[in-house]
Amino acid sequence: MSSSESSSKKGLGDRATGAVHDVSDFWTRITNGLALHQLWGQFKSDASESYGLYSRDVDWGAIPQKKGIKRFFRSAWALFQVMLMKLSPARRLLFLLAAGLFFFPVIAIFLPHMKPEDAGDFYEFSAIALFILLALELADRVIMKRDLEIAREIQQWLVPSAPPTLPGVDIAFATRPANTVAGDYYDAFERPPSPGSSEPGPLLLVVADVAGKSVPAALLMATFQASLDTLAAMPGPLDELVRALNRYSCAHSLGGLRFTTAFFAELDASRRSLTYVGAGHNAPVLRHPDGRIERLTEGGPPLGIPAEDVSASYVCTQIAVAPGDVLVIFTDGVVEALDQKETEYGETRMIACIQSVGQSDAASILHQLMSDVDRFVGQTRQHDDVTCLVLKLT
């Protein structure tokens, strides 16, 4: 073999290797490195959620109840109309034009002077119209996503990025929004001491969940955070703080439609006491070093639900705590997480996970709990915001 032939074959081999590398790199970018079974699971979750979104607007009562081809076509037609009405009027017409151009050759083939080769032109114009419609919808999505990303950055400023560092206290927290922005809120900070006291103020722990998801819930979460910061900056007992928050929430809850569940606790580390009150929230779990589980159930209704007199509902409860105790405060997105069979994760699994943590620190306990939820859920799309705060006394 001559040197020129050898060089030619080497060049072909290098180009083939480069082409394979380019294709592999393109595939990785398109799939974000996900495996095929992960992509399929993601597609099924997206399809199921999309179907749920459209089917809610269908008047199923007007569709024949007997199964058969008639019911199938009536159901498909009803879903098609719902999907069409989600577009703007101009885009509806563009979509109908594309559909008409696509199906016209099938009908026109029976017309005189219609040649089969002319059908290609209609298909091309149909594809162009659909591509324009896709580009317009993607542009809207990109703009909305950009605005939501900005909103998410602002929302992240409203919650702590790192837990406070205090002697004898180990704290960890995590949140996962179901959408770009969330309606969950968490915080942990020291309140000012009582007037004339030389001791530091108590550590305030708060986890809250605004009714709803996405932008409306995120906006209400921001107002909740602002009012909490203002009220907590003034010294005073915890029950007065919660009542003041409730008065503000009732004034801005649209008659109770936009309520907030929350759990508040003040920790006096020097006296080893915890004062708490719930507001319609999931009862936190207190795990003692010997494995005993205690639920903090005392409290009142959610914030923002008007009532003649709810003052007596927000009476605080004080309990003793000791080194080794672990407090887990969570939102309903944790226990109501669903797997592919729509089975809830549930409190039984959560408590079993908390009981198995041993002497781990707060960050490890949080990681173990969130990982357990992830394993249970699998590829199922998250349908609610998930937030968890773990405190361990050392």
Spatial distance between the Cα atoms of 131 and 154, rounded to a whole number of angstroms: 34
Residue 3: what pLDDT? 58
- Same structural domain, 145 and 183: no
Q: Write out pLDDT tens, residues 328-361.
A: 999 999 999 998 888 999 999 999 999 988 788 9
373 domain-assigned: yes
Residue 364: what pLDDT? 94
Q: Write out pLDDT tens, residues 150-194.
A: 877 877 778 888 888 888 899 999 999 888 777 899 999 999 887
Enter the DSSP assignment of 360: -
Residue 205: what pLDDT? 96
pLDDT score of 5 more than 70:
no
- Same structural domain, 122 and 176: no
Q: Which residue, 123, 158, 193, sits at the end of a domain?
A: 158
Please state the rounded mean pLDDT for residues 67-76: 82
270 domain-assigned: yes
Residue 70: what pLDDT? 80
Please state the rounded mean pLDDT for residues 104-124: 64
| Cβ-based neighbour number of residue 353 at 10 Å | 19
11 domain-assigned: no
Low-confidence winner among 154-158, 234-238, 306-310 (lowest mean pLDDT):
306-310
Residue 170: what pLDDT? 95
- Same structural domain, 237 and 115: no
Distance of CA 227 to the CA centre of its chain: 24
pLDDT score of 327 more than 80:
yes
Which one has a higher pLDDT value, 161 or 207?
Answer: 207
Q: Is residue 253 a contact partner of residue 307, using CB atoms and an 8 Å limit?
A: no
- Same structural domain, 137 and 171: no
48 domain-assigned: no
- Same structural domain, 69 and 204: no
Residue 34: what pLDDT? 76
- Same structural domain, 331 and 374: yes
37 domain-assigned: no
- Same structural domain, 168 and 314: yes
User: Strand runs (DSSP E) across 167-259, as ranges?
Assistant: 169-176, 184-190, 203-210
Task: Name the nearest CA neighbour of 78 among 51, 48, 104, 98.
Answer: 51
Host domain of residue 214: 164-393
Provide the number of structural domains found in the chain. 2
Pairing state between β 203-210 and 184-190 = antiparallel
- Same structural domain, 150 and 171: no
Residue 7: what pLDDT? 59
Distance of CA 113 to the CA centre of its chain: 58
Q: Which residue, 139, 158, 177, sits at the end of a domain?
A: 158
Spatial distance between the Cα atoms of 293 and 84, rounded to a whole number of angstroms: 53
Q: How confident is the model at residue 6 (pLDDT cuts 50, 70, 90)?
A: low
Q: Which of 11-20, 204-213, 245-254, 366-375 has the highest mean pLDDT?
A: 366-375
pLDDT score of 204 more than 90:
yes
Please state the rounded mean pLDDT for residues 89-111: 78
Determine the residue type at 153: E
Percent of the chain with pLDDT over 70: 88
CA distances from residue 349 to 272, 343, 363 in whole angstroms, order as listed: 29, 12, 19
Q: How confident is the model at residue 120 (pLDDT cuts 50, 70, 90)?
A: low
pTM as predicted: 0.72
Residue 241: what pLDDT? 92
Q: Is residue 168 a contact partner of residue 393, using CB atoms and an 8 Å limit?
A: yes
Q: Write out pLDDT tens, residues 24-41.
A: 888 888 887 778 877 787
- Same structural domain, 137 and 249: no
Q: Is residue 279 a contact partner of residue 261, using CB atoms and an 8 Å limit?
A: yes
Spatial distance between the Cα atoms of 64 and 278, rounded to a whole number of angstroms: 48
- Mean of all residue pLDDT scores within the chain: 84
Please state the rounded mean pLDDT for residues 200-215: 87
User: Strand runs (DSSP E) across 197-345, as ranges?
Assistant: 203-210, 260-268, 273-279, 285-287, 293-295, 299-300, 317-320, 326-330
- Same structural domain, 114 and 196: no
Distance of CA 109 to the CA centre of its chain: 51
In sequence order, what are the residues at sequence separation of 6 or more whose Cβ sits closer than 8 angstroms to the Cβ of residue 257? 211
- Same structural domain, 123 and 204: no
Q: Which residue, 136, 158, 180, sits at the end of a domain?
A: 158
Q: How confident is the model at residue 108 (pLDDT cuts 50, 70, 90)?
A: low
